[in-house]
Structure 1
Amino acid sequence: MNEPIHAGVEKSNNVTVTDAFWRNYKRIVAEQVIPYQWKALNDELPDTVPSHAIENFRIAAGEAEGEFFGTVFQDSDVAKWLETVAYSLRSFPDAELEKTADDVIALLGRAQAEDGYLNTYYMLVEPDYRWSNLRDNHELYCAGHLIEAAVAYYQTTGKRAFLDVMEKYVQLIQQVFGNEDGKLQGYPGHPEIELALLRLYDVTGKQEHLDLAVYFIEQRGQQPHYFDIEKEQRQAMDRPKTWNDEHTNFGLGYAYMQAHKPVREQEKAVGHVVRAMYLYTAMADLAHRKDDKQLREICDKLWEDVTKRKLYITAGLGSTVNGEAFTDAYDLPNDSMYCETCASIGLVFWAKKMLELSPDRKYADVMERAIYNGTISGMDLDGKRFFYVNPLEINAYQTGRKDQEHVKQERQKWYACACCPPNLARMIASIEDYAYTTTRDTLYTHLYMAGNVEAIIGKASVKLTQTHQYPWDGKITITVETEGDFKLAFRIPGWSSGVSASVNREAISVDDLQDGYLVLDRTWKIGDQIELLLPMPVERVYSNPKAGMNQGQVALQRGPIVYCLEETDNGANLAGLRLPRQVAFKTTHEANFLSGVVTLGAEALHIVETENLYQMDVPKTTRRSIQAIPYFAWGNRGLGEMRIWVHEGVE
């Protein structure tokens, strides 16, 4: 078990990324996404939904005239942009960008009220009704994202201005909320501030920040239900009813807000998926810090429910647009699902905290699946268009269905609710933070990412260098750059078989794994080399028989990458394809195609179309060459059908 963290000192590793795959993504964020999203925040993108987010702060600061515009959580878009900038500056120092960020932070400071309050919606629209609708209006959610951004910016630049602004705001929140007499005993409808306060505690070491996080986590779902209390208070104010007052939270009740039960009574994932992921992340983090075995058991039960019954092959989450929510176990429709980009990103956050609780391959395997599939599919390859919803199947008839209006066939320039684009940007900019964790005596490698890592293991300073072409090639070389006695642990992915390993070219056994990790304990010398060979054949993946929509179909995976078929490569009516069970696949690395990917080629059958809607005759087929591409890269070459699950034939 990892060492519980009881003091306010963050354990972090210094990681430098040279990885061709992730360096490219990080560079796109630095050079394309950050400037593009800055234009979006300033309403400088033509022919798209305005943001007004920066202008809202200018109005709040008294430096511009006008009215608030946007969603009640519009401030969070600015917060996530600043957090992305902070991470990007670690890899790509940019004095001009840092100056822009400093100016935005100064604007936030000028907009902040004397008592520390900072939320442009309430400051400009309902100044007399702060904290009156925690269930719906995202005050504490926005505060959480601003806290996260402030922590990241301080850690990168050492500048305290943003941190000071947010500590002042947190002091106000501490005065307002708690179980003490005279305080509101509420909590946010959308979890976020809980995990943010734990990050703030990391850099300040202030017990009150940890205590406030504990309060918000433990208070959720307690009776009498606070959301009922505040609803009655709003009615006493003779304020208009909210949408959720009338519609009972999409019919999900307080499960929509993850407030149907106290956290220690939750065993199944229900309700709004992103809210669940953020809450579970905070719960796992708290379980680690407090060495709380009961809370850890709850996190594990929730993990099992999500990953064994409600997870798409892409690590997408959310089976329905209604409430952007979980549904029943094994209900995983491919064409009407939701699979919000933020949901897979939240899964990555949660997996990282579960790994800190206990290094186990089952967490890292899911994290890797999400990172390479369900998250980066949310952005096109040049960083200028984005998916909110990530479908596993696009059909010609979807555009005519009202119940699938949420499914887009192409990425959008921006959104009125723009939570996903900046969320993905901050994850990519900080991708190295998910590669390693440490315990008292071991450095764990969870993700294979070319570059360097420096970490402290016990009293030993450890530095490793990874070189490889992952995720396209499974030959991994790790060079030890320091000497001493310490343990190194390397994840052997669950998708791999026939793995081999060596140290200084001497073969070593990979049979005795510890929770899926090859653990090497020895006296290391500078220049020692570990080599891992993770074979990457094309694998067929089959669904559990309870997932009825996938029966008779197969998905293709190579290494951590899930593949799909697009109409542009394979013609129309992809549902008519039949992939013979014994067909061989040809893998081709195409350096100049879709930013450099491995494609899969095979011979398949295609059902011949007829004019009959139904017929008694066995359908005729023709042979057709097909090409599959990585799912994350689909939708970059125009409109058309797409599908992951392909019908399997018997020939």
Structure 2
Amino acid sequence: MTDPLNNSLRFTPLPLQSVTLDDRFWRPRLEVNRTATLPFLYEQLERVGAIDALDLRPRPLRVPCHPGSAVTPQMWWDSDIAKWIETAAYALATHPDAALEAQVDALVEKIAAAQQPDGYFNTFFTAIESQNRLTNERDWHELYNAGHLIEAAVAYTQATGKTAFLDVMERYIRFLMGVYGPHPGQKHGYPGHEEIELALVKLSRLTGKREYLEFARYFVDERGRQPYFFDEEARARGEEPSSELLSHGDALPYEYMQAHKPMREQDKVVGHAVRAMYLYSAMADLAAELGDESLRQACERLWADLTSRRLYVTGGLGPSAHNEGMTTNYDLPNDTAYAETCAAVGLVFWAQRMLNLTGDGQYTDLMERALYNNVLSGVAQDGRRFFYDNPLESHGDKHRWEWHSCPCCPPNVSRLLASLGGYVYGRTADGIAVHLYAGGSARFEVEGQPVTFYQRTEYPWEGKVELEFDLERPARFTLSLRLPRWCRDPKLSVNGEAVDLSDARDGHVHLTREWSAQDRVELNLPMPVERVYVHPNVRQDAGLVALQRGPVVYCVEEADVDVPLHQLALPRGADLTATFEPELLGGVSVVRGEAEVEEPGDWGGTLYRTAPPRQITTSLCAVPYALWDQREPGEMRVWLREEVREAPR
């Protein structure tokens, strides 16, 4: 393979093989992901018939799924298998496993056998609706599937060096490059569900072939141009374009799939949340690879819109189940919040790319928030139960399930966790950057000399991070450390000597010096329990308060209190303390304090009265939001009523 194309990334992720995570927080989660979730996902794909579909013999059976649904052959099954292969590839990169590798090779053989003579590959449209292939990209996910297959092929080649899967996908892409493009006889189009764009950038980086990068740019540039491709596509099928199909509720026509106007003109995050995150990730990649300032500026505008008007405190996005996405400014309902797990995973992808492009720690801060809260909420600690949507309030009727008729989220969160080592560090032109604080090690080179970098920490439960190097001889380079915005008073020392942080920039402190094996760096990030308030335009949270500590957002569950949660009121001045409880939920820091509740009293069978209820004190215990619904069923709330007493006159 050739070197990656020329790019302007400020940070470049370290290869997975160079990173080890072995702390108390991440090691058990990653082990469960590798040893429990990965085989469980394969079993489910077998059970519903997705694996058999690779033989172009889809089962006509209806397989029970989560309550109220069943599974029939689906046009997105190829993407689910691809995400499983991608997860397996990341696992193989860090934990070689001959049996798992053979399992992937068997799937690759099936994929190669199912590829059509012209290069086309899609099991659904080959076996079930061959007459309809590439006739409805608005709704039918062929290019979306292709994108996930490309990502899987790239990851598997990087993990094993094998190129059979990559060869299949390159052949498929060459076929698609003949179908879509700006020339006469080609379709001037783009996918309804974005994904292939970011995958093509990965493929270009791996192979060094610029044509893949240009194909990704074509899809991004063509999007939103008139005449609208999906209108032309519908007429070619003998249909009249339908605004109803394009709108999906609150979104205007074409907003649902971010195709209402050219991408460089967009400044508002609209439509389906997952599609948006994948598209913006590709835009950031292209901005880096091509030095495209207009794409970068578009990404920054969209980021500002998301973070100032449309984002949940948990890092979730997309409040509406109707369109799996965005509605209006400041519309952030709690009990009906959709906040799809895949959308938060996509936000992590986009945030990392914006960090790599700009070097600005604000993107890592949000990447961390989404990761520790909305993403981890999407999978239970046993690795076998999942949330598709992630509400911030439950009346005891919301629980994880083992599978879904559209099972995009389980393998998506699994592939992110399997690749987590690629998000922790970044290489710079003159050193190494620490983006996420997690116990473990990283290996890199400075002027040809191997260096091993160690982190020791109990993060996110504690904010103390100890850092040191293992290298044969002193070497000069820059160590860049993120200073999270949630931390008000960070402290840093090198070999016991305090470091002045007043000149920190872009959310980082940059330490340039000659480093030796004797050097010790200590970073302290104080983690007081903090109250969080939302913009007054968010009507659903008026008069409410949320709790966070460090990057972790907390919730209250019925299991920990003896009154209905809507009755709890947290006094503004109440003391709140955090304690680590090793026997609870595998070991977590909980927040404890006192709250007030209205005394039920004797209402004498009446529903209303003029006398105000008396307030009594009760104990409050809050647990990390990501771990809710893992004990007895019951209510849950992130946002609590706040009691504000008038100051004495």
Given the two structures, how large is their TM-score scaled by the length of structure 2? Answer: 0.92
Q: Does 1:473 align with 2:470?
A: no
Task: Tell me how far 1:247 sits from its aligned partner.
Answer: 6.8
Q: Structure 2 matches for 1:49-68, cutoff 5 A?
A: 51-59=48-56
Partner residue, 1:405: none
Q: 1:455, CA displacement in angstroms?
A: 3.1
Q: Structure 1 residues 484, 116: closer, same or farther in 2, change over 3 A? A: same
- Structure 1 residues 43-101: Cα deviation after superposition (integer angstroms, max 9, x where no partner): 1xxxxxxx3211111225xxx87689433212111011111111112232221111111
Q: Which range moved further: 153-162 or 244-253?
A: 244-253
After TM superposition, the structure 1 = structure 2 runs for residues 378-417 of structure 1, keeping only pairs within 5 Å, are 378-395=378-395, 409-417=398-406
Instruction: Report the equivalent of 2:65.
Output: none
**Residue number among 13, 25, 29 corresponding to 1:25 in the alignment:** 29
Q: Call closer, same or farther: CA 1:112–1:411 in 2, change over 3 Å.
A: same
Secondary structure of 1:20's counterpart equals coil
Conservation of the 8 A alpha-carbon contact between 1:579 and 1:649: yes
1:150 is matched with 153
Cα 1:8/1:296, change in 2 over 3 Å:
closer
Task: Give CA-to-partner distance per residue, 1:337-369, whole Å, 9 cap, x none.
Answer: 210000100000000000111111210100000
Displacement, 1:262? 1.0
Separation (CA, whole Å) in 2 of partners of 1:325 and 1:122? 27
Shift of 1:586: 3.0
Contact 1:8-1:203 within 8 A present in 2 as well: no
After superposition, give the CA deviation of every residue in 1:564-619 in whole Å (9 maximum; x if it has no partner): 00001113420100111222223221222111111111111112234544332222
Q: 2:67 — aligned with what? A: none
Matched, 1:595 2:586: yes
What secondary structure does 1:324 align onto? Answer: coil
Q: Does the C-alpha gap of structure 1 residues 159 and 7 become closer, same or farther in structure 2, counting only changes over 3 Å?
A: farther
Instruction: Name the residue aligned to 1:527.
Output: 518
Determine whether 1:364 maps to 2:355. no
Quote the offset at 1:16 in angstroms.
1.4
8 Å Cα contact 1:7/1:205 also seen in 2 = no
Name the CA distance, whole Å, in 2 between partners of 1:129 and 1:519.
56
- Residue 198, structure 1, aligned to residue 201, structure 2: yes
CA distance in 2: counterparts of 1:632 and 1:65, whole angstroms: 36
Matched position secondary structure for 1:150? helix
Indicate the RMSD between aligned Cα atoms, in angstroms: 2.1
Corresponding residue for residue 617 of structure 1: 611
What SS is found at the alignment partner of 1:191? coil
Q: Is the 8 A contact 1:361 1:491 kept in 2?
A: yes
- What is the aligned partner in structure 2 of residue 47 from structure 1? none
1:418 to 407, 413, 418: 407
Could you tell me how far apart the structure 2 residues matched to 1:447 and 1:614 are?
Answer: 53
Q: Is the CA contact (8 Å cut-off) linking 2:234 and 2:241 kept in structure 1?
A: no
| Change over 3 Å in CA distance of 1:432–1:319 after alignment to 2 | same
Is the CA contact (8 Å cut-off) linking 1:5 and 1:290 kept in structure 2? no
Partner of 1:79: 82
Asked if 1:131 corresponds to 2:125, the answer is no
Find the residue that maps to 2:315 and give its secondary structure.
coil
1:437 Cα offset (Å): 2.0
How far, CA to CA, are the matches of 2:446 and 2:339 in structure 1?
A: 38
Partner of residue 503, structure 1: 494
1:72·1:121 contact (CA, 8 Å) conserved in 2?
yes
Secondary structure of residue in 1 paired with 2:254: helix
2:287 matched to 1:298? no
CA drift of 1:291 comes to: 1.2
Q: Using the alignment, how far apart are the partners of 2:559 and 2:267 within structure 1?
A: 44
Task: Name the stretch that deviates more: 435-444 or 599-608.
Answer: 435-444
**For 1:419 and 1:166, how far apart are their aligned partners in 2?**
21
Q: Which stretch shifts more, 579-588 or 351-360? A: 579-588
Q: Is residue 250–residue 323 contact of structure 1 (8 Å, CA) maintained in 2?
A: yes
Deviations 1:205-246 (A, max 9, x none): 11111111111111111111110000001116xxxx899865
Partner of residue 640, structure 2: 646
| Residue equivalent to 2:66 | none
User: What CA distance in whole angstroms lies between the structure 2 residues aligned with 1:146 and 1:640?
Assistant: 40
C-alpha distance in structure 1 between counterparts of 2:555 and 2:272, whole Å: 27
Q: Provide the rounded CA distance (Å) in 2 between the counterparts of 1:247 and 1:215.
A: 22
> 1:425, CA displacement in angstroms?
0.3
CA distance in 1, matches of 2:8, 2:38: 31
Amino acid at match of 1:420: C
Structure 2: stretches of 5+ with no match in the other structure:
62-70
- Is the aligned partner of 1:36 residue 2:40? yes
The range that moved more, 248-257 or 586-595, is 248-257
Deviation of the 1:514 alpha carbon: 1.1
* Counterpart-to-counterpart distance in 2, 1:245 and 1:622: 52
Residue 170 of structure 1 deviates from its aligned partner by: 0.8
* Between 609-618 and 177-186, the greater mean CA deviation after superposition: 609-618
Moved more, 450-459 or 416-425: 450-459
User: Aligned to 2:437, which of 432, 445, 448?
Assistant: 448
- Structure 1's 245 and 582: CA in aligned 2 closer, same or farther, altered over 3 A? closer
Q: Pick from 480, 484, 491 the counterpart of residue 493 of structure 1.
A: 484
Paired amino acid for 1:501: L
- The offset of 1:173, in angstroms, is 0.8
Relative to structure 1, the CA distance from residue 65 to residue 280 in structure 2 (aligned partners, 3 Å threshold; closer, same or farther) is closer
Q: Which residue of 2 aligns with 1:404?
A: none
Change (3 A) 1:527 1:40: same
Secondary structure at the residue paired with 1:589? strand
Report the CA distance between 1:320 and its aligned residue: 1.2
2: CA distance, partners of 1:113 / 1:276:
31
Write out per-residue CA displacement over residues 531-566 of structure 1, whole angstroms, 9 at most, x where no aligned residue. Answer: 001111111111111112212111111111100000
CA distance in 1, matches of 2:97, 2:245: 49
Could you tell me how far 1:621 is from its partner in structure 2?
2.1
1:499 is displaced (CA, Å) by: 1.2
Deviation at 1:480, TM superposition (A): 2.0
Superposed, 1:271-350 pairs within 5 Å as 271-350=271-350
Is 1:217 paired with 2:220? yes
Please list the CA deviations of residues 499-548 of structure 1 after superposition, one character each: whole Å capped at 9, or x if unmatched.
11100111111222111111101111123111001111111111111112
What are the superposed Cα offsets for residues 6-62 of structure 1, whole Å, 9 maximum, x if unpaired? 27998644211112211111101111101111110011xxxxxxx3211111225xx
The reply on whether 1:105 has 2:130 as its aligned counterpart is no
**SS where residue 208 of structure 1 aligns?**
helix
Once the two structures are TM-superposed, the CA of residue 324 in structure 1 deviates from its matched residue by 1.0
Q: State how many pairs are aligned.
A: 623
Give the CA deviation at 1:185: 1.1
CA distance in 2, matches of 1:259, 1:299: 15
Residues 27 and 580 of structure 1, relative CA distance in 2, 3 Å threshold:
same
Aligned-partner residue type, residue 200 of structure 1? L
Tell me which amino acid in the other structure corresponds to 1:290. L
Paired position in structure 1 for 2:546: 555
> Secondary structure, in 3 states, of the residue corresponding to 2:55?
helix
Residue 565 of structure 1 corresponds to: 556
Match of 1:179 in 2: 182
Change (3 A) 1:147 1:102: same
Decide whether the 8 Å contact of 1:541 with 1:557 is kept in 2.
yes
Tell me, in whole angstroms, the C-alpha distance in 1 between the residues paired with 2:609 and 2:221. 60
